[in-house]
């Protein structure tokens, strides 16, 4: 079992969350490109150096929490049962609502749309999002290669990871397009995401069903 974080770690986490929430509020109100990091620091009552200590780039303030997504994705794939193809484990993970899409408070739908529109309006944020997707894909490919004992020149783990992450990117684009039309019914949007995700994954299953099947443990 993981030990509970100490007082110092809890304080650092609260500071990190405060900075990210403050930045998100300012970015939504004024636009990402119109808010300097100094304004975020002032509103959060910390120094500029503290902001950069927690968030190396301004874009990281928007995509806070995506490290958890990557960790959870890799855990879901690496912990799949013996004999299960990677597409099944990936599907279970990626089709589960999370973040603002799963939030139950009344303001989450408006906030979800505001964040989506902010990202769409900023070339810097769109570029950063692509960098993050590329990192996810590389991490997933490396995990699949290690998990299946693939040779260094074997392209199948990379092809598999790109195909699976392509589904994730397509679903993110679908959500952005849906949100551009207005404040969503979160429940309906979540159902549409699952339906479209299942359809996309079904397209891959025929070609990927036998790939990256985790071998049974040797006795």
Do the beta carbons of residue 178 and residue 184 sit within 8 Å?
Answer: yes
Q: What is the pLDDT of residue 104?
A: 66
pLDDT per position as a tens digit, 44-76 = 999 999 999 999 999 999 988 777 889 999 999
Report d(CA 197, CA 106) in Å as an integer.
26
Q: Residue 96's CB: how many other CB atoms inside 10 A?
A: 15
Residue found by looking up tokens 């019914």 in the block: 185
Q: Residue 5's CB: how many other CB atoms inside 10 A?
A: 11
E strands, the chain, are none
What percent of the chain clears pLDDT 70, i.e. is strictly above it? 91
For the chain, what is the radius of gyration of the CA atoms?
A: 19
pLDDT per position as a tens digit, 148-179 = 899 989 999 999 999 999 999 999 999 888 88
CB within 8 A of 204, min separation 6: which ones? 87, 163, 164, 167
Which of 65, 66, 6, 61 has the alpha carbon at shortest distance from 38?
61
Do the beta carbons of residue 73 and residue 93 sit within 8 Å?
Answer: yes
- Of all helices (H) and strands (E), which one includes residue 187? helix 186-208
DSSP-based three-state secondary structure for 157: helix
Domain map (residue ranges) of the chain? 7-58, 65-207
Mean pLDDT within 185-201:
89
Taking the domain 7-58, which CATH number applies? 1.10.10.60
Q: What is the pLDDT of residue 174?
A: 92
Taking the domain 65-207, which CATH number applies? 1.10.357.10
| 210 pLDDT above the threshold of 80 | no
| 218 pLDDT above the threshold of 70 | no
| 207 pLDDT above the threshold of 90 | no
Report d(CA 77, CA 90) in Å as an integer.
6
């Amino acid at each position: 079992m993981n030990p509970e974080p100490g007082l110092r770690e809890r304080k650092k986490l609260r500071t990190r969350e405060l900075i990210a929430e403050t930045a998100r509020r300012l970015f939504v109100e004024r636009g990402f490109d119109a808010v300097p990091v100094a304004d975020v620091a002032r509103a959060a009552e910390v120094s500029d150096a503290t902001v950069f200590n927690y968030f190396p780039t301004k874009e990281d303030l928007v995509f806070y929490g995506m490290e958890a997504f990557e960790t959870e994705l890799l855990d879901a794939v690496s912990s799949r049962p013996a004999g299960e193809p990677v597409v099944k484990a990936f599907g279970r993970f990626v089709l589960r609502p999370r973040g603002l899409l799963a939030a139950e408070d009344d303001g989450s739908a408006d906030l979800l749309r505001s964040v989506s529109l902010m990202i769409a309006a900023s070339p810097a944020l769109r570029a950063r999002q692509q960098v993050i997707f590329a990192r996810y894909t590389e991490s997933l490919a490396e995990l699949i290669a290690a998990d299946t004992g693939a040779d260094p020149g074997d392209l199948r783990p990379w092809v598999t990871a790109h195909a699976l992450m392509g589904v994730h990117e397509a679903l993110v684009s679908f959500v952005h397009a849906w949100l551009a039309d207005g404040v969503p019914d979160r429940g309906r949007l979540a159902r549409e995401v699952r339906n479209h995700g299942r359809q996309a994954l079904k397209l891959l299953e025929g070609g990927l069903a036998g790939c990256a099947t985790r071998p049974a443990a040797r006795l």
